Chains A and B, each alone.
Chain A
Amino acid sequence: MVILSRHDHHRCESCIDRLFTLGPAPCPVCNKILRKLAFTPQTFEDLEVEKEVAVRRRIAKEFNKRMEDFPDLRSYNDYLEEVEDITFNLIHDIEIPETEARIAAYRRENAALIELNIQREEQYNRLLKEQEDAERQEREHRAAELRRLEEEEREEREKERQELIDKLETSDKDATRLVAKSRADALRRASARSTAAANSFQSSSKLLRSRAAQNTIVPDAPHVPLQDDWYAYEDMYILRDNYEDPASEAVRRDREGIMKAGGYRVEEAWERALRSAIAGLEIMPAEGIRTVGS
């Protein structure tokens, strides 16, 4: 199938297929929402082009040798070159009888291989299609499962609400306690659902298997608490328990206890002042302010 598009940047059919497997999608280049329909084949106004297409179609049918059919890259390249020559001649009506004779000779010599490659191609296409079908089914299965879970979740929430109302009407237990219990139950169920949803895919998907396979490639390493070159001048000062610090006197007294309750730590302010001062010791005096003779 030939693909021409106003979106010049899409050319390769497999890319387009991949892009639209889940329906309309934004073009990765220009971000316009596109539909696969926009890529239906078009007929060419330019007859020259149309002719070239026809010729190439015809040639591709029989000149279908693969790289593995050749002993080396060189002979494969020679073959490709010959195919190009023949194609060129046919398109431009050059030496038609001789060219047709070359094609006929090729056909005779390679009849078996041509047939084999046609079969290989068909088999490959079949395989590809089966794979795509399987993947589509898997996707549909997942989507259905998610929908089911969401529906269940909705019903459950509704049920909970109703139960709570019923209980509040009939029970003489403390209302806040009932609400609390109902919420705790709801949270537990929501969480169970989320993890169950994830786990239900676990078996059906290849995810865990691929994770296991990855393990042999990138091994997990033991934990290292800090990984940067941590240095905070800690060898250069000792933080005392207390300082003569009028600015923080009120804070330290903290008559109401509210700074303590809020977690404010005057020690953090002290540590910061100390560390900043010590870090400053390392800063060289500015260049250019040199004393005579140095």
Chain B
Amino acid sequence: MDAVEKANADRQKRWAKEQKIGEGTYAVVYRAREIATGRRVAIKKIKVGQFKDGLDMSAIREVKYLRELKHPNVIELLDVFSSKTNLNLVLEFLDTDLELVIKDRSLVFLPADIKSWMAMTFRGLEFCHRNFILHRDLKPNNLLIASDGKLKIADFGLARDFADPGYKMTCQVITRWYRPPELLFGCRYYSTAVDIWSVGCIFAELMLRTPYLPGESDMDQLKTIFRALGTPTEDDWPGHTKLPDYVPLGQFPRTPLRDLFTAASADCLNLLSKCLIYEPRRRISTKDALNHPYFFALPYPSHPSKLPKPAAKANSSHPLDEVDGNVDLSGLGPGVKANPPNKLKRKVSSDELGSRSIARRLDFTQHR
């Protein structure tokens, strides 16, 4: 084993994989623990081998960008190691994602909750853009939620840095419903504005509780957008008819956002409309969005700890193992029941403990 292999093996040994918790387009995600501290983490194992040099571009991108990004609203990359032909990213563990939150119909969203999620999304994205990185796959499912309610942008598998002048980028990025019209028209030179469109779609989805622009195919996606926001004119979006995949799709009238988002405040709809401006250069930037009146108006954004979350799965947060007990003064509940005599509630210094055979696993209280 050479030095590099040894270093890799040492890193791998720091983490204990437990069970599979998620699967994405190119990765399997496991729950795991840091052996030394017991800290919960996630390991994203990337299926390698789609590219001829053996290492998947997505994997490289994800490592490259997450390495550089450290921000409260961007998922933290803790370690990287390889196993067989896989690349393993060790990530901070996050409880749930915004898609699951939106879909849980038993949850009520207050306007302040939506404001809080939006502020966190924009802050994380501002940080990416400030570091010249385009995310290119923003959607509720890639916005993960930590146990303290903080939102973190995740899944940098499609991210890339701003292109140098004259370099083409692929337009096959961003999940369809969140993809901006310039990419649907095959544009190969684009900017941060593509991410802003996605955020606009997420914003609308938070209010509607259902996807805002659910196109059935790439072609239908454009129609779906135009039906909602009206077919753009040359004034709305100069030059768009020259884009590589442009096709005329018919004239659709613009319906005021107010008709659909009946309960939203004026500030709120103003910001939403600025995220969904056709001409990418006029679309709002993350920094301007964060300074938009919507965020300063009442109600204040909800404190992250109060944001609605799906009920925890019957997961390991509650220790099922019995706690070895001396008398617990705080446990004044059902008296004897909470402190059954079988648990050897004795003085702390009970040194004859070992000499008595007491079946400690049994619960002797009469429950029924």
Task: Give the B-binding residues of A (Cβ under 8 A).
Answer: 1-4, 8-13, 15, 18-19, 25-26, 28-29, 31, 49, 52-53, 56-57, 59-61, 63-68, 73, 76-77, 80-81, 83-84, 87-88, 117, 120-121, 124, 142, 146, 149, 176, 180, 183-184, 187-188, 190-191, 194-195, 197-199, 201-202, 205, 207-208, 211, 214-215, 218-223, 225-228, 230, 232, 245, 247-248, 250-252, 256-266, 268-269, 272
Contact = CB atoms under 8 A, between A and B. Distances in A.
Contacts of A268: 132, 162, 191-192
Given A67-B332, A67-B335, A80 B255 contact: no
Contact of A67 (B109, B252, B327): B327
B353 to A, nearest CB: 11
Given A57-B364, A142-B106, A220-B302, 14 more contacts: A12-B363, A56-B341, A61-B366, A76-B327, A77-B345, A124-B334, A124-B337, A184-B255, A208-B108, A247-B164, A251-B165, A262-B189, A262-B191, A263-B193
Nearest to B255: A184
A180 B342 CA distance: 70
Majority secondary structure, A binding face? helix
Interface residues of B, number: 102
B336 A66 contact: yes
Interface stretch (B7-15, B44-52, B239-247): B239-247
Nearest to B110: A211
Contacts of B110: 211
- What are the nearest 10 A-B pairs in CB distance? A263-B280, A66-B335, A261-B239, A248-B165, A194-B209, A262-B187, A257-B239, A264-B189, A225-B290, A191-B208
A56 B342 CA distance: 8
B175 interface: no
B67 to A, nearest CB: 16
A28 B319 CA distance: 10
23 contacts: A2-B364, A11-B363, A26-B314, A49-B359, A56-B364, A66-B335, A80-B341, A83-B341, A87-B341, A124-B334, A188-B259, A188-B260, A198-B108, A218-B305, A220-B300, A225-B291, A247-B166, A248-B165, A248-B166, A261-B240, A262-B187, A262-B188, A263-B193
A276 B359 CA distance: 68
B105 A226 contact: no
Contact of A220 (B283, B287, B301, B320): B301
B106 A57 contact: no
B333 to A, nearest CB: 9
B282 to A, nearest CB: 9
Contacts of B281: 260, 263, 265
Interface string B279-294: 1110100010011000
A60 B366 contact: yes
Nearest to A219: B303
B136 interface: no
A93 to B, nearest CB: 14
B210 A187 contact: yes
A250 B366 CA distance: 85
